[in-house]
Structure 1
Amino acid sequence: MLSIFDQGPPAPCPDPFNLTAHVLRHAQDQPDKIALSLVGPTGAENWSYSDLEAAVRGTGTGLLNAGLAAGDIILMRLGNTVEFPIAYLGAIAAGLVPVPTSSQLTESETAKIIADLSPAAVLRDPQVACADHANQIDIKTLDSMRALPACAYDLGDPDRLAYIVYTSGTSGKPRAVAHAHRAIWARQMMVDGWYGLRNTDRLLHAGAFNWTYTLGTGLMDPWTIGATALIPQPGTDPSTLGWLLARHKATIFAAAPGVYRKILQSDDAMELPDLRHGLCAGEKLSPLLHKTWKDRSGTDLFEAFGMSECSTFVSSCPDHPARGEALGRPQVGRRVAIVGPDGPVPQGTEGTIAIHRSDPGLMLGYLNAPKDTKARFQGDWFLTGDQGAMAVDGQITYLGRADDMMNAGGYRVSPVEVETALTAHPGITQVGAAAVEVKPDTYIIAAFYTGPKELTAQDLQSFASDRLARYKQPRAYIYMDALPTGANNKLLRRALPAYFKG
C-alpha cells in the first residue's frame, strides 16, 4: 500500500464568503459572551463578542475612510497588543489584505518587505521598527476607528486573496505567502482533528498577539466556534503561566514546547482542575518533555505539524492520540502523502511529507514568485520539505526537515531521531543534533545539550550506544547553558555548528 491518507474532502467553502464574517459569526447569537480575556496576575480585561465585532467592523470603516480600497495591501507593524487582531480582522472584513509581521523585524528588514509588497499603507505602533512609508496610520488613529459605524462585510469568491504572511522557508530568504479567504474554512478540520475544541472551552494561548500561531489557534479558531480566548497580558513571565491557567480556569492550553519546558522548571505544584489538555506546535515535542508534563499536570499534550503555507494538517487529538513516537495522523478531510522522486512511496518508507493541491487551506502561492511556487509542487502534491514515514493506520513519524538531515560517513540521519533518543537521559533537559565539519569535507554528528550539569562523554556515549545504531551516534557532545532558539523558542539547528570548537 502507498503512503496516502484520504478519507474524503471537507464540505465546500460557502460562496460568497468573508474570513472575518466567518470568525465573528457567533456575535449574533451570543453577543454578551466573553470572546477575549487578557489575563494577568491581578485580573483580566474582557471583550464580549458584540464589543469585539463592533471594534473590528468599526476599524474596517476607518480604514476605508482613510482612502484605502478593497484589494489594497496593508503592512502591519504593531506590537503585542489587542490592536493587532482587531486591525487584522477589520482589514479583512473590509476587503483589504493585511500582512502581519513580527515586531522584532529590523528597519532594514521591513524596507525589503515594503519594496516587495508596495503596500498602500502601514499600520504603525511608533515603538515598533519600520522603514519609511508615505502612508502610515498610527495606533492612536487605529484605536479611534473602533467607535465608527460597522463596515459591511466584503463578501466574494472564497478563493480571492485575504492575507499575506512571511516565511523564511528552506532557502532562508523571506517569502510572501498569499492565502485565500477559504483558509479559515479549512481550519475547521483542526477543531476535531487537533484541538478537541468545544464552544464551552476557555483556551489560553501563551504566544503574543502578533504571532500567527496565536492569531489562528489562540484567537480565530476559538471565536469561530463560539469559545473564549485567553491571552496573557504583555510581559507575562512564562514561569507564571501555570498559575494563570489555574487562576483563569483555562480548559485548553496552547504553546510551543519551549514554553512548556519553562513552566516545568518551576518547582511549584501544578493544580489545574479545569485543564482538559494541552496543544503543542512549532517544533518537535520530545518524549521526555511530554511525559514530564503529563506527570506534573495530570493532562495530556497533543502535537501538530504544519507550516505557513498550509497551517497545521497532521496532528494528534483526544479522539486519536499519537502512537509511540508518531506525530499523529492527517486530519480528516485532508489528503496527505509521503512522496519520493516518483510519487507516493510504500507505507513505512521515508519520504517528503506532502499535501494535495486541492486542500482548501493551502496557499494561493508565493506572491510575485510563480517559479518558486511551481518548484514546491511535484504533480498534484505540495512538498513541505519535511521528512516523514506513514504507518498503515495513517500515523506519521516526523524525521526532520530535508535540509536538516545529517550526513555522516555517507549515511543520512534525522536529527529528530538522535534528539529523541538522547532526551531520555535523566541529566539532559534539551538537546539539538547537527552535523559539524571536523576537517575539510569530513563531518561528524554532534549533540549539543543542556542540563543541571555537564555530563561525561563516556556516560553519554554509553547511553547513546544502547539506543542508536553506530552510524547515528554522536561523536561529540557539547554542553551549553542554553541552546539557540528563535523568537518563538523554536530550536535553531542551523546555528548549532557555530558552537562546535573542534
Structure 2
Amino acid sequence: MPESLSEDRRPPARFNAARYCLAENARLRPDKTALILVGDGTEDSLSFGTVERSVRAIAAGLLGLGLKPGDRVMIRMGNEADYVLVYFGALAAGLVALPSSPLLTEDEAAFLLENSGAAAVVVGGGCTVAPEALDGRLLLDAAAIAALKAGPKLPDYADTAADDPAMLIYTSGTTSRPKGVLHAHRAAYGRRPMLDHWLGLTEADVMLHAGTMNWTYTLGVGLSDPWSVGATAVLYNGPRDPAVWPRLIAQYRATLFAAVPTLYRQILKYGDLSAHDLSSLRHGCTAGEPLPVELLDAWTQATGKPLYEALGMSEISTYISSGPTVPVRPGSPGKPQLGRRVAILPREGEPVPLASGETGLLAVHRSEPALMLGYWNRPEEEAEVMRGDWFTGGDLARLDDDGYLWFAGRNNDLMKAMGYRVSPNEVEVVLSAHPSVAEVGVAELPVRADVSVICGFVVLQPDAEPDAAALLAWCADRLAAYKRPREIRFLDALPRTANGKVQRKRLAAAVAG
C-alpha cells in the first residue's frame, strides 16, 4: 500500500481555507497579480491585496445581513470575478459556499436552494431565480455585491475548525436528484500532495484553467492551488472557441494549462498551435475523464510538452496522478500521490486491501484530509460508499507492482460527461415525462473508440412517432447542458433482468442487435 498519511500532512486544528489561500499573499505580495479574468476583448486583473480586501469586505457584509456561521450561500453566476470573491468571502465569514452552474435551469436551481436550505443566493448576469423558489431567502445581485465590497472589511477571518463545513457541491447520485457533497475547510489543505506530484506548482507559475468557476476542478486547480503558493491564476469567460487557448497560453505566458481531455482534442483539431509561442508552457494537466493514449501521443508530438493526468472526484479532489515526480505510463492515470492512503478492496466482504495485480474497488482512507465530511442529508448514500474506514467511489481498478493504477470499469451506472458525473436516473426522469415515451433507459453510447455520449434509449407509446429532435429539445428545456443526452435511440423493448430491472450496460448492445 502507498505511504500512510503522516501527521505533518494534517492541517492545524484551527484552519480557515480562505485565510490559507489569501492572508500570506496579501501580506507578502499585495501588488502581485492574483487573478486575470479574460473575456472577449476584455481583461480584468486583480492583485492579491485587492482580492483579500474584497473578500473580507464581502464576508463582513454577508454577516452584517444577518447570515450566521454555517449558513449556506448559493452562487448562481457565470465566470465573473465576483464569483471568486463571493466564494472566498463566504469561507472567510465561516459560511458555507454553494457553487452552482449557470447552465442549470430554474427548476434545477430551485431544487438546490430547497435541498440545501440556503439562506442566500447570489446571482450574476443572465442568471435568474424563480420568485417562488426564494421563499424569504436573501437575493444579492451585482449591485448588492458591489456595495458589500465598498464597505468595511471583516477584522479577521472566521476562527473556523479544520473540520467545520466550508463548501457544498452538488453532484449526481444514485437517485434521480443530485446530492450535496459537503467539504470542510481542511479540504484546501488536503490538496497539498498534488502541488508537487501532479501540478509541480510554485510561486513563479501562471496557471491557465479552461473550466467554469462552479466546478471543483476549477475552484481547486484553477484558483485555490495557485493561490496557496502565491501563483497567478488566469481564467476565461469569453466564447467557448477551442482555438482561443493556444493564444491565451502565449499571451499570458502560462506555465501550466489545465483542461479536460475533450478540450485538448478540440485544441488539436481546431487550434493552430504552430501560430503561437508556447515556449512558456511547462506541461499540461488533465482530469475529469480518462485520457486516451492516442490523445496523449498526439498532444506531446504536436507541442513537445508533457501532459499529466490525474484522477479525482467531487468527494476527494485528485489523489492519483502522473507528474514531475511520477513518469507518465500511457493508459494509466498514474500513482497515488505521496502521502495518500489508497487501496484496492474486494467488491464484497471485509474491506481488507488486495495485493498488487488484483482487481477490486478503488478506495481512499477516511483519514485523508481532502475527503468530504459526507453527503448532505443523504445518510443512505454515505452508507453505500463507506466500507469500514474506506471511501469507495465506484471505480474498479488494480495497482501494478510499480504502484500505477489501471482501470477495469465502473461498479455502478454513473456516466461521465464533459468531466461531470451524471446520474442516468436524473435523465430518465426527465425523458419519461414526455408524453410519447413509454419506457426509457439512459446510458453511455460509444461513438468512437475513445468517445462516448449520453444516450436515451426509448420505447415509445403506442402510435407515437419516433422524433429524436423533439425529445432532445424536451431535455434541453429541463436539464443543464452537460446532463442532456446527445443521442436518442428507439427500441422495441428495454433489456431487463429476471427481476425486471433495466440492464443499462446492455442498452447499446440492444441497438447494435
Q: TM-score, normalised by structure 1?
A: 0.80
Question: Which of 17, 20, 30 matches 1:19?
Answer: 17
Distance 1:114 1:498 in 2: 39
Paired residue type of 1:46 = S
Correspondence 1:321-400 to 2 at 5 A: 321-340=327-346, 341=348, 342=350, 343-400=352-409
2:164 maps to: 160
CA shift for structure 1 position 34: 0.6
CA deviation map 1:422-477 (0-9, x unaligned) = xxxxxxxxxxxxxxxxxxxxxxx9842289xxxxxxxxxxxxxxxxxxxxxxxxxx
- C-alpha distance 487-83 of structure 1, shift in aligned 2 (>3 A): same
User: Is 1:147–2:150 an aligned residue pair?
Assistant: yes
Q: Is the 8 A contact 1:76 1:99 kept in 2?
A: yes
CA shift for structure 1 position 361: 0.6
Distance 1:394 1:172 in 2: 36
After superposing the two structures, state which structure 1 stretch, 180-189 or 138-147, moved more: 138-147
CA deviation map 1:228-251 (0-9, x unaligned) = 001123324222211111121100
CA shift for structure 1 position 8: 3.7
Paired residue type of 2:363 = A
CA deviation map 1:34-79 (0-9, x unaligned) = 1111235756321110011111111111111212121111122122
CA shift for structure 1 position 488: 6.2
Distance 1:491 1:279 in 2: 27
Q: Is the 8 A contact 2:14 2:159 kept in 1?
A: yes
Distance 1:33 1:492 in 2: 44
Question: Which of 403, 412, 434 matches 1:403?
Answer: 412
CA shift for structure 1 position 172: 5.2
Distance 2:290 2:272 in 1: 26
CA shift for structure 1 position 14: 1.2
CA shift for structure 1 position 498: 10
CA shift for structure 1 position 110: 2.0
Correspondence 1:65-144 to 2 at 5 A: 65-125=64-124, 127-131=126-130, 132-133=133-134, 134=136, 135-144=138-147
Classify the secondary structure of the residue corresponding to 2:243: helix
Paired residue type of 1:67 = G
CA shift for structure 1 position 272: 0.6
Distance 2:360 2:284 in 1: 29
- C-alpha distance 486-136 of structure 1, shift in aligned 2 (>3 A): closer
Distance 1:95 1:8 in 2: 27
1:257 maps to: 261
Distance 1:209 1:175 in 2: 19
CA shift for structure 1 position 115: 2.2
After superposing the two structures, state which structure 1 stretch, 60-69 or 393-402, moved more: 393-402
CA shift for structure 1 position 125: 2.5
Distance 1:285 1:491 in 2: 22
Distance 2:480 2:141 in 1: 28
Distance 2:482 2:107 in 1: 21
- RMSD of the TM alignment (CA)? 2.7
User: Is 1:58–2:45 an aligned residue pair?
Assistant: no
Distance 1:87 1:13 in 2: 24
Q: Is the 8 A contact 1:39 1:248 kept in 2?
A: no
Distance 2:231 2:221 in 1: 12
- C-alpha distance 501-349 of structure 1, shift in aligned 2 (>3 A): closer
Q: Is the 8 A contact 2:101 2:214 kept in 1?
A: yes
Classify the secondary structure of the residue corresponding to 1:285: coil
Q: Is the 8 A contact 1:179 1:362 kept in 2?
A: yes
Distance 1:242 1:399 in 2: 34
Same amino acid, percent of matched pairs: 40
Paired residue type of 1:149 = P
Classify the secondary structure of the residue corresponding to 1:154: coil
Equivalent residue pairs, number: 429
Question: Which of 1, 5, 10 matches 2:2?
Answer: 5
CA deviation map 1:112-135 (0-9, x unaligned) = 222212211111236214332122
Classify the secondary structure of the residue corresponding to 2:9: coil
CA shift for structure 1 position 108: 1.4
CA shift for structure 1 position 171: 4.4
2:326 maps to: 320
2:303 maps to: 297
CA deviation map 1:391-431 (0-9, x unaligned) = 1222111233222599xxxxxxxxxxxxxxxxxxxxxxxxx
CA shift for structure 1 position 487: 5.0
Q: Is the 8 A contact 1:170 1:385 kept in 2?
A: no
Classify the secondary structure of the residue corresponding to 1:6: coil
Q: TM-score, normalised by structure 2?
A: 0.78
CA shift for structure 1 position 214: 0.9
2:190 maps to: 186
Correspondence 1:209-248 to 2 at 5 A: 209-248=213-252
Paired residue type of 1:169 = G
Q: Is the 8 A contact 2:246 2:271 kept in 1?
A: no
Paired residue type of 2:194 = M
- C-alpha distance 16-272 of structure 1, shift in aligned 2 (>3 A): same
- C-alpha distance 127-250 of structure 1, shift in aligned 2 (>3 A): same
